[in-house]
Amino acid sequence: MVSRTVTIRNRAGLHTRPAATIVKKASQYRCEFTIIKEGFRINGKSIIGVMTLAAEQGSELTLEFEGSDEEAASVDIAEYFERGFDEEF
């Protein structure tokens, strides 16, 4: 299992557009993908799940990847978080 801690950087937080992008990215990989916010674990391949987190700017999330392509998935998705979803900071 690969575990990464990321922070929401963009001002708008984890809103619908980035949530959809995350889910799309995650669905390209076979591995299980879980996002954890303050102990609340949701399936990272579920758009409703990711949106339910309602993660605002500054909140810290843990990303967990488990499966054959966990390494590639973790790099791809964690990088997207680090880039602030390519939005304004």
Partner 1 sequence: MGALDNIQEIRKQSITVGFMADTCRDRFHLQHLNEGVGRDKQITDKNLHRPQLALTGYTKLFTYHRVQVLGNTEFFYLQSLSPERRIEVFAALLSFDVPCMVVTTGNQLDPELVAIATERQIGIFCTPHETTKAIYLLSDFLDDHFAAYAPVHGAFVDVYGAGVLFIGRSGIGKSEVALDLIERGHRLVADDVVLVTRKGEGVLMGAGSALAPHFMEVRGLGLLDVRQMFGIRAIRFQKRVEVIVELEEWDPAAEYTRTGLEDATASLLGIEIPYVRLPIFPGKNITVIAEVIALNYLLKHYGYNAAQVFADKLSDAIANRSAGDMTSSRSTPYFEHDFE
Which residues form the catalytic set? Answer: 15
H-helix segments, the chain: 16-27, 47-52, 70-82
Q: How far is the CB of 18 from partner 1 (least distance, A)?
A: 15
Nearest to 43 by CA among 9, 66, 11, 15: 66
- Show the site string, 27-66: x = touches partner 1 by CB under 8 A, - = not: x----x-x----xxxxx-xxxxx-xx-x------------
The answer to whether the CB of 26 falls within 8 A of the CB of 73 is yes
Classify 57 as helix, strand or coil: coil
Binders of partner 1: how many residues, by CB under 8 A? Answer: 16
The answer to whether the CB of 67 falls within 8 A of the CB of 29 is yes
Q: How far is the CB of 52 from partner 1 (least distance, A)?
A: 5
Q: How far is the CB of 59 from partner 1 (least distance, A)?
A: 15
Which spans of this chain sit near partner 1 (rule: CB under 8 A)?
Answer: 27, 32, 34, 39-43, 45-49, 51-52, 54
